Amino acid sequence: MNILVCVKQVPDTTQVKIDPVTNTLIREGVPAIVNTYDAFALEAAARLKDKDPDTKIVVMSMGPANAVNALKDCLAIAADRAYLISGREFGGSDTLATSYILSNAVKKIEETEGKFDAIFCGKQAIDGDTAQVGPELAEHLGLPQVTCALEITEADDAHLEVLKEGTDANMLISIGLPCLLTFTKPSFEPRFPSLKRKMMAMRAQIPTIAFSDLPGIDAGKIGLNGSPTRVKRSFVPERKKNGMIISGGTAAENAAKLSELLSDAKVI
Amino acid sequence: MPVPYYDFDFMLTDEQKGLRDLVKDFAQSKVYPRCRECEKDAIIPEDLVKEAMDMGLNLVTLPEEYGGLGLDNFTCAVIREQLAKGDAGFASRIFGFGFTPVKLAGTDWQKQIVADSFLNGGIMAFALTESCAGSNAVAMATTAKRDGDDYIINGSKNFITNGDSADFYTVFAVTDKEMGHKGITAFIVPKDTPGFSVGKHEDKMGIRCVHTNSLFFDEMRLSAKYRLGDEGNGFKLAMAILNDSRPATGSSAIGIAQQALDLAIEYSKERVVADKPICRNQAIAFMLADMEIQVQAARQMVWGVCKSADAGIVNRKLVAAAKCFAGDTAMKVTTDAVQIFGGNGYTRDYPVEKLMRDAKIYQIFEGTNQIQRVTVSGMLLK
Ligand SMILES: Cc1cc2nc3c(=O)[nH]c(=O)nc-3n(C[C@H](O)[C@H](O)[C@H](O)COP(=O)(O)OP(=O)(O)OC[C@H]3O[C@@H](n4cnc5c(N)ncnc54)[C@H](O)[C@@H]3O)c2cc1C
Residue ranges of the alpha helices (H) in A1-91? 36-51, 68-77
Give backbone dihedrals phi and psi of B198, rounded to 5 degrees, phi first.
-120, 130
**Chain A residues within 8 A of B55 when measuring between CB atoms:** 192-195
Q: Tell me whether residue B169 is exposed, middle or buried, using C-beta atoms within 10 angstroms of its C-beta: 0 to 12, 13 to 18, 19 or more.
A: buried
Please calculate the CA angle A234-A239-A243 and round it to the nearest 5 degrees: 170
Task: Note the ipTM here.
Answer: 0.90
Return the residue whose CA atom lies nearest to atom 45 of ligand 1: B370
- Cβ of A199 within 8 Å of Cβ of B26? The answer is no
The span from the CA of B307 to the CA of B309, in Å, is 5
A76, A195, A199: residue with CB nearest B57: A195
pLDDT of residue B253: 98
Count of C-beta atoms within a 10 Å radius of residue B314 = 14
Please calculate the CA angle B253-B256-B262 and round it to the nearest 5 degrees: 140
pLDDT of residue B5: 52
- Cβ of A198 within 8 Å of Cβ of B18? The answer is yes
Closest approach atom of ligand 1 to CA B204? 1
Question: Residues B303, B325: contact at Cβ < 8 Å?
Answer: no
Q: Flag whether residue B65 sits within 8 Å of chain A, measured between CB atoms.
A: no
Q: Report CA-CA distances (Å) from A263 to A168, A260, A267, B19.
A: 22, 5, 6, 47
Question: Residues A118, A180: contact at Cβ < 8 Å?
Answer: yes
**Chain A residues within 8 A of B70 when measuring between CB atoms:** none
Closest CA–CA distance from residue B59 to any residue of chain A (Å): 9
**Chain A residues within 8 A of B56 when measuring between CB atoms:** 194-196
- Cα(B175) to centroid(ligand 1), Å: 23
**Chain B residues within 8 A of A204 when measuring between CB atoms:** none
Which of B95, B97, B100, B129 maximizes ligand 1 atoms within 8 Å of its Cβ, making it the mutation to test the pocket? B129
- Cβ of A191 within 8 Å of Cβ of B60? The answer is no
Kind and range of the H or E element at A65?
none
Residue-by-residue pLDDT tens, chain B, 382 positions: 344 456 788 899 999 999 999 999 999 999 999 999 999 999 999 999 999 999 999 999 999 999 999 999 999 999 999 999 999 999 999 999 999 999 999 999 999 999 999 999 999 999 999 999 999 999 999 999 999 999 999 999 999 999 999 999 999 999 999 999 999 999 999 999 999 999 999 999 999 999 999 999 999 999 999 999 999 999 999 999 999 999 999 999 999 999 999 999 999 999 999 999 999 999 999 999 999 999 999 999 999 999 999 999 999 999 999 999 999 999 999 999 999 999 999 999 999 999 999 999 999 999 999 999 999 999 999 9
Please calculate the CA angle B244-B91-B79 and round it to the nearest 5 degrees: 70
Nearest to B355 by CA among B335, B370, B373: B335
pLDDT of residue A24: 67
Residues 6+ apart with CB under 8 A from B288: B261, B264, B265, B268, B279, B340
Nearest to A196 by CA among B122, B119, B99: B119
Give backbone dihedrals phi and psi of B132, rounded to 5 degrees, phi first.
-110, 15
The span from the CA of B333 to the CA of B335, in Å, is 5
Residues 6+ apart with CB under 8 A from B111: B66, B102, B103
- Cβ of B25 within 8 Å of Cβ of A192? The answer is yes
Q: Flag whether residue A192 sits within 8 Å of chain B, measured between CB atoms.
A: yes
The span from the CA of A162 to the CA of A152, in Å, is 5
The span from the CA of B128 to the CA of B102, in Å, is 15
* Closest alpha carbon within chain B to A202: B15
Q: Flag whether residue B49 sits within 8 Å of chain A, measured between CB atoms.
A: no
Kind and range of the H or E element at B291?
helix B282-310
Give backbone dihedrals phi and psi of A199, rounded to 5 degrees, phi first.
-65, -45
Annotate B325-368 with three-state secondary structure: HHHHHHHHHHHHHHHHHHHHHCCCCCCHHHHHHHHHHHHCCCCC
Instruction: Identify residue A100 by its one-letter amino acid code.
Output: Y
Q: Tell me whether residue A156 is exposed, middle or buried, using C-beta atoms within 10 angstroms of its C-beta: 0 to 12, 13 to 18, 19 or more.
A: exposed
Residues 6+ apart with CB under 8 A from B21: none
Cα B323 from chain centroid? 11
Is the Cβ atom of B364 under 6 angstroms away from ligand 1? Answer: yes
Residue-by-residue pLDDT tens, chain A, 268 positions: 999 999 999 988 777 777 777 766 677 778 899 999 999 999 999 999 999 999 999 999 999 999 999 999 999 999 999 999 999 999 999 999 999 999 999 999 999 999 999 999 999 998 888 999 999 999 999 999 999 999 999 999 999 999 999 988 999 999 999 999 999 999 999 999 999 999 999 999 999 999 999 999 999 999 999 999 988 887 777 777 777 888 888 899 999 999 999 988 888 8
Scored b (16 or more CB within 10 A) or e, B7-31 reads: eeeeebeeebebbbebbbebbbebb
Please calculate the CA angle B68-B70-B74 and round it to the nearest 5 degrees: 140
- Cβ of B19 within 8 Å of Cβ of A195? The answer is yes
